Amino acid sequence: MKRIFAQNPLFQVLFFLIVSIVIGFGNNWLRDDSIPLLAEKLTIATTDDLLSDIAGESVLKAIDLEQARKFYFEDVVFVDARDLEYYEEGHIPGAWNSQDFMELSFRLDSHQGKDRSIVTYCDGDDCGSSEDLAYDLQGEGFMKIFVFVGGWSEWKETGYFIE
Amino acid sequence: MKFITQSSIFIISFRLIIGGILVFASFDKIGSPDDFARDIANYHILPFGTENLFAIILPWLELTIGLGLIIGIFVNGAALLSMGLMGIFILAIGSAILRGYNIECGCGLKEGEMVGIGKIAENAVYFAFSWLVFKRGGRWFEILPKSG
């Protein structure tokens, strides 16, 4: 009886599923860098997040077009997270491209250290590379990273300067 | 087709290839579930938030079925799940291409791999290998379930 049960492919599928669920949740619960069971959206930056260029703990927040524009005129570094071909087609003036992450990280560090603000952007609401890049930069020790959610599409639509 | 499913050499090779790929692909994802969750989210297929659940479970599913295929434990179940995973990957990559997304594949085999027709073809081959393993004509080097 037990043997027939074990030979049933559906039982075997169930076995793998249950083992993976148990180990997956167990591992996530035990590890230091565990992730929440449900992802949370990046929250919009508050005035406190924006005011100081030196903060005790790392800030990674979303910003809207208006805030992105303010940062732009304050000469905050913008980093374009899209592929080089899209960057070359057009980008926010002065934005750096992120093709070589290690080089970007080194350049940013030499340019302004790790405590000053950086804005990342990609195409718009639907892309995820600006957020990926922001987390990678945070992982490298950069302290204030803002993701311009509207990205290149929104910037271009408003008719602001483009390059 | 029958000469393939009846050949122990072919079937064991397919088991080792798919198993090895699944195990290898799971390492990166297990190492950084947050990166993998963001890769999943970039596909915009799942309801927002649920990508974390998949990022927690999926790599371990890949690892366990990969080991099952290599060691020879519950090979039928492992082959069925492998077909299911490859099918889902093909649909996900296909939908990303159709919607014009230029995103990282998140396949876990090579850093920075982007979605593309090549990835669909690759997964289709693995799907076919898994199907051939499921339809195999004998049990070679399998530990569980015990035969007889």
In chain B, residues with a C-beta closer than 8 Å to the C-beta of A17 are 61, 81
Distance (Å) of CA B62 to CA A53, B96, B120: 43, 22, 18
Query: Nearest-CA neighbor of B71 among B6, B15, B4, B30?
Result: B15
Residue B72: pLDDT over 60: yes
Inside any domain, residue B128: yes
Residues in chain A with pLDDT < 50? Answer: none
**What distance in Å separates residue A137's CA from the closest CA in chain B?**
13
Find all residues with CB under 8 Å of B56, minimum gap 6, and list them: A24, A25, A27, A28, A35, A37, B33
Contact by Cβ (8 Å): B21, B109: yes
What pLDDT does B122 receive? 96
How many other CB atoms sit within 10 Å of the CB of residue A29?
Answer: 10
Instruction: Tell me what pLDDT residue A5 has.
Output: 74
Instruction: Classify residue A103 as exposed, middle or buried by CB count within 10 Å of its CB (0-12, 13-18, 19+).
Output: exposed
Average pLDDT over residues B129-139: 95
Residues of chain B positioned with their CB less than 8 A from the CB of A34: 33
Q: What are phi and psi of A121, to 5 degrees?
A: -150, 160
Q: How far apart are CA A140 and CA A127, in angstroms?
A: 22
Summarised one tens digit per residue, pLDDT across range B75-97 is 999 999 999 999 999 999 999 99
Q: Is B57 close to A21, i.e. CB distance below 8 A? A: yes
Residues of A with CB under 8 A from a CB of B: 3, 6-7, 9-17, 19-21, 23-25, 27-28, 33-41, 82-83, 86, 126-129, 131-132, 135
Residue A64: per-residue pLDDT: 92
For residue B71, the model assigns a pLDDT of: 97
Q: Are B107 and B81 in contact (CB under 8 A)?
A: no
Contact B77 A19 (CB under 8 A): no
> Nearest CA to CA, how far is A117 from chain B (Å)?
22
Structural domain contains residue B142: no
pLDDT in tens, B10-64: 999 999 999 999 999 999 999 999 889 988 988 889 988 899 999 999 999 999 9
Task: Give the residue with greater pLDDT, B141 vs B102.
Answer: B141
B141 in a structural domain: no
Residues in a beta bridge with A18? none
B35 in any annotated domain: yes
Q: What is the pLDDT of residue B3?
A: 87
> Is residue B146 situated within a structural domain?
no
Q: How many CB atoms lie within 10 A of CB B9?
A: 9
pLDDT at A37: 94
User: B117 lies in a domain?
Assistant: yes
Q: Which among A16, A28, A129 is the nearest to B56, CB-wise?
A: A28
What is the spatial distance between Cα A5 and Cα B88, in angstroms, rounded to a whole number?
27
Overall number of domains in chain B:
1
Q: Half-sphere exposure of A39 toward its Cβ, with a 13 Å CA cutoff?
A: 23
Higher pLDDT, B125 or A2: B125
Q: Give the neighbor-by-neighbor strand order of the sheet with A77-80.
A: A59-63, A144-148, A117-121, A77-80, A96-97
Q: Which chain A residues are closer than 8 Å to B50 by Cβ?
A: 38-39
Which pLDDT belongs to residue A51?
67
> Are A121 and A77 spatial neighbours (Cβ–Cβ below 8 Å)?
no
Give the residue ranges of DSSP H helices in B99-138: 117-134
Residue of A nearest to B39 (CA): A128
pTM, rounded to two decimals: 0.80
The pLDDT of residue A117: 92
**Considering CB atoms only, which of A16, A35, A131 is closest to B61?**
A16
A13 vs B77: CB contact, 8 Å cut-off? yes
pLDDT at res. A58: 83
- Cβ contact (<8 Å) for A25 and B56? yes
pLDDT of B103 strictly over 60: yes
Kindly state whether residue B140 falls inside one of the protein's structural domains. no
Residue B10 is predicted with a pLDDT of 96
Amino acid B108: pLDDT: 80
| ipTM for the whole complex | 0.95
Amino acid A126: pLDDT? 72
Q: A140 exposed, middle or buried (CB, 10 Å; 0-12, 13-18, 19+)?
A: middle
CA A96 to CA A99: how far, in whole Å? 9
**Of A95 and B148, which is predicted with more confidence?**
A95
Query: By residue range, what is the domain housing residue B53?
Result: 2-134
Residue B146 pLDDT level (bands cut at 50, 70, 90): confident
**Are the Cβ atoms of A20 and B102 closer than 8 angstroms?**
no
B139 within some domain: no
